[in-house]
Amino acid sequence: MTVLTTPFLVRNAAPTAAPGVPADHFKEVLARLAGGLAIVTCWQEGGPRGILVSSITGLSIDPPRFLFCIRREASAHDALVATQLCGVSILSAEDDAEALTFIDPGLKALRFTSPRWRIAASHPPLLESGLSTATCLVDQVIDAGAHSIVVVTAQSAGVRHGEPLLSYNRDLRRLQPGPGEGGT
């Protein structure tokens, strides 16, 4: 892992003693932010580990980087922030059942059991039905209070055609066809 330096001023505002918006209300605000979903994976003690994230975003093209956030209380947090290599699978609309295994703790035993997972000890698990996959080096983990911000650089990547799976208002969604795209 390397520490990056920047040629510009980085300001870290100290958190205020009392947040201006109550936590429950802010959760409602964030629930209204529609976004794509990805499963981020790694190996820990010989077994696959992973987490569903809606906080993934492209950070840069050169170098090819993503960033995503992981809640510290998440079961895969420690494994993902300790690993050097992780997999990123951006989900397609057909991956809703797989996403549910990472949402519902009662379905945890079903994670990584689908034949759509590419499981090999030489690289992190990748969901082959995803819209895109990448094997990434973990560059930086940033402490952000209740979460960790993870910056990764793609070492290899693949894409396939399809529609995305989205998160909106605590539910899994698909895009609706726009005018001229098969809609009525």
Render pLDDT for 138-180 as a digit per residue (tens, 0 to 9).
Answer: 999 999 999 999 999 999 999 999 999 999 988 899 987 778 7
Select from 22, 49, 35 the least CA-distant residue to 170.
Answer: 35
Q: Is the Cβ–Cβ distance between 48 and 125 less than 8 Å? A: yes
Render pLDDT for 43-70 as a digit per residue (tens, 0 to 9).
Answer: 999 899 999 999 999 999 999 999 999 9
- Round the average pLDDT of the chain to a whole number and report it: 89
The β-bridge partners of 159 are: 132
